[in-house]
Every structure is written in C-alpha cells, then in structure tokens.
Structure 1
Amino acid sequence: MTTMQLPIISMCSVDGCSYNHDHDCHAGAITVTDGTSCGTFVSNGAHDAGVAAHGQVGACHRSDCIHNDKLECRAASVNIGAGDDPADCLTFATA
C-alpha cells in the first residue's frame, strides 16, 4: 500500500488539535494507538500544523479492528472524534 492508497480522515471533530482545520485533519498521516486513540493528536500549541492535503491513516495498532490488515487500516475513510480519549478513531469496529 502506498501513501496514495491510505484511507483519508473524512472528518475530525476534535477542535483542540493543531492538525484540525475546520474539522478537516491535515496531519500527513495519523497513528491509531491502543484504545483507538489518535496518537498524532497535538493540543492546539502549534497553530495551522500539518500539510495542505487531507490527513490519512498511516498505522493502526488495533489488530482486533475489522479494518486492520497487518497493522494497516483498510477502511475507505475514517472519522476521528471524542471517545474514551479526546481524539479517537470512531470508525473502529470488531467482528
């Protein structure tokens, strides 16, 4: 899978993240860590952080997710928002 094939983050509702610009993630690629937390979340210290393109999912540590294949996300797109942590993968699902 090349970076052009990584799933995009279709929406991020975490207003306190430096990569979030008008509910659009601009991190080059995020990592979903244990507990479905967005490991790339950075509190609003760096204004307008990230790249001009939509953020993508670079890695997923949740091997029990139905979208996970060899620690790579295969979902068409993901949503990030508040869950157990301030920034969680809301697309996470188990079989």
Structure 2
Amino acid sequence: MSATIDLPQVTDCTATSCAYNHDGCHAFAVTIDTTANCGTFLSLNEKGGLNVVAQVGACQRTDCTHNQALECRAPSITVGAGQSTAGCLSYQAA
C-alpha cells in the first residue's frame, strides 16, 4: 500500500535558458540535488514539459530545514538562474 502526498510547487523560476521554463516551470517534477541546484535543469533551445506547474519530486539536500526523508516539505519553492544551472532559492540550512 502506498500513500500520496501533496508535493510543493515551483512557484517561480528565473532560469530562462532551461528547456522546461516557458512562462513558469513545466517539468512534471524537479529534483533538487546535493548542492541545492535544480537537477532537472536542461539547457536546450527546444522547450518541453507538460501543461502543469512543476512540483518538487525529491530533495537530496539533507541539511535543508524543509527536507524530511529526502522529500521537500516547504509550502512551495522558487528556483533562480545561475551561470550554467539553476538553484533552489528556498533552501534554508537546518
């Protein structure tokens, strides 16, 4: 038996070079990696994703106050553009 939970949404993303970002993040779910970067960031000219608002599927940043059992429990997150990637701006050290 499995339980479902409400996953936090990506309410804003300024990584305009990401293929999933076109008027917001349209990946089904993003992963935040061990350095608090968006592991789903993909730099392509082609735009992709679904007609949904992205959710945080997993968080590998174990020292974040929002991380519980490798899942993000923040109400929502924002993602910001970096030089060659994007980072979770909602990260807060525990």
TM-score, normalised relative to structure 2? 0.89
Q: Which stretches of structure 1, 4 residues or more, deviate above 6 A after TM superposition?
A: none
| Match in the other structure for 2:4 | 2
Contact map agreement 2:27 2:54 (CA 8 A) in 1 = yes
| Match in the other structure for 2:32 | 32
How many residue pairs get aligned? The number is 92
Distance change >3 Å, CA 84–CA 18, structure 1 → 2: closer
Distance change >3 Å, CA 37–CA 85, structure 1 → 2: farther
For residues 21 and 12 of structure 2, what CA distance do their matches in structure 1 show?
A: 9
Q: CA deviation at 1:90?
A: 0.4
1:36-55 mapped onto 2 (5 Å cutoff): 36-47=36-47, 49-55=48-54
Unmatched 5+ stretches in structure 1: none
Unmatched 5+ stretches in structure 2: none
Identity percentage of aligned residues = 47
- Larger Cα-atom Rg: 2
Partner SS, residue 35 of structure 2: helix
For residues 85 and 71 of structure 1, what CA distance do their matches in structure 2 show?
A: 25
| Match in the other structure for 2:16 | 15
Distance change >3 Å, CA 54–CA 68, structure 1 → 2: same
